[in-house]
């Protein structure tokens, strides 16, 4: 892996790509231990979704930081729920590291992933304050400049729908600080280098930057 890291850094200072006809599943070209490293690099872009507490039906001030939701059951990812209003809640804390990578200064985005027949509206609250309300919301910023130990209460109210709702899960996307190496960029370079090294000589050159 060390040799591949050096090779990718030298050969691919900017973004390069092979054509679709030349492309192959890159990770299969790596040794098992290297595949594990590439997979872990991919995991640095996301935090575990944790356990979401769920309340079927409306509840007064479900966004309040003072509300005790300890008796609420845990939401099950990839599950169907009734058409009534539903609340999801979770306290999210920035860990000290993610697989050893310091998250200080990162931007962390949140999105609840669910769908229903017809329109699906939701309201998102952070620490008891409404920050977004719409149909099929884009991700919202949870932490702009994250520091280990930062904590926030996320509460989401899904409004009534025409039919059942399907809860897939939640995405906590991590965007690395601009002052630090990007795991996503490194992963892309390693996979591109693996593709390049496996290509027949007549395909390797010339390589043109995108």
Enter the DSSP assignment of 29: G
pLDDT of residue 186: 67
pLDDT of residue 173: 92
Rounded CA separation 167/56 (Å): 13
**CB count in 10 Å sphere of residue 54:** 21
CA-wise closest residue to 144 among 133, 131, 134, 155: 131
Enter the DSSP assignment of 74: B
Two structure tokens written together for 111: 């999105």
**In the predicted structure, residue 53 carries a pLDDT above the cut 70:** yes
Q: Which helix (H) or strand (E) holds 35?
A: helix 32-43
Lowest mean pLDDT, pick from 51-60, 61-70, 135-144, 193-202: 193-202
Tell me the DSSP string of 172-201.
Answer: EEEE--TTS--HHHHHHHHHHHHHHHHS-H
pLDDT of residue 79: 96
Two structure tokens written together for 202: 């007549």
pLDDT of residue 26: 57
What is the reported pTM?
A: 0.73
**In the predicted structure, residue 112 carries a pLDDT above the cut 90:** yes
**In the predicted structure, residue 24 carries a pLDDT above the cut 80:** no
Pick 46-175's CATH classification: 3.90.440.10, 2.60.120.260, 2.30.42.10, 3.30.1330.10.
2.60.120.260
Mean of the pLDDT values across residues 164-185? 84
The pLDDT-based confidence of 149 (bands split at 50, 70, 90) is very high
């Amino acid at each position: 892996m060390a040799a591949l890291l050096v090779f990718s850094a030298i050969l691919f200072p900017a973004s390069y790509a092979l054509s679709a006809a030349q492309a192959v599943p890159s990770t299969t070209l790596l040794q098992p231990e290297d595949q594990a490293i590439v997979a872990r690099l991919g995991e640095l872009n996301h935090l575990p979704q944790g356990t979401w507490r769920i309340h079927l039906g409306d509840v007064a001030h479900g966004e309040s930081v003072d509300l005790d939701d300890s008796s609420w059951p845990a939401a099950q990812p990839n599950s169907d729920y009734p058409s009534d209003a539903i609340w999801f809640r979770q306290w999210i804390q920035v860990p000290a590291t993610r697989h050893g990578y310091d998250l200080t200064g990162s931007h962390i985005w949140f999105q609840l992933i669910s769908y229903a027949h017809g329109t699906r509206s939701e309201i998102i609250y952070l620490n008891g304050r409404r920050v977004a309300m719409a149909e099929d919301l884009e991700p919202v910023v949870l932490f702009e400049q994250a520091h280990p130990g930062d904590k926030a209460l996320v509460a989401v109210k899904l409004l009534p729908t025409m039919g059942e709702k399907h809860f897939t899960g939640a995405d906590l996307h991590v965007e690395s600080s601009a002052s630090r190496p990007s795991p996503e960029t490194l992963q892309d370079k390693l996979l591109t280098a693996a593709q390049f090294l496996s290509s027949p000589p007549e395909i390797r050159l010339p390589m043109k930057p995108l």
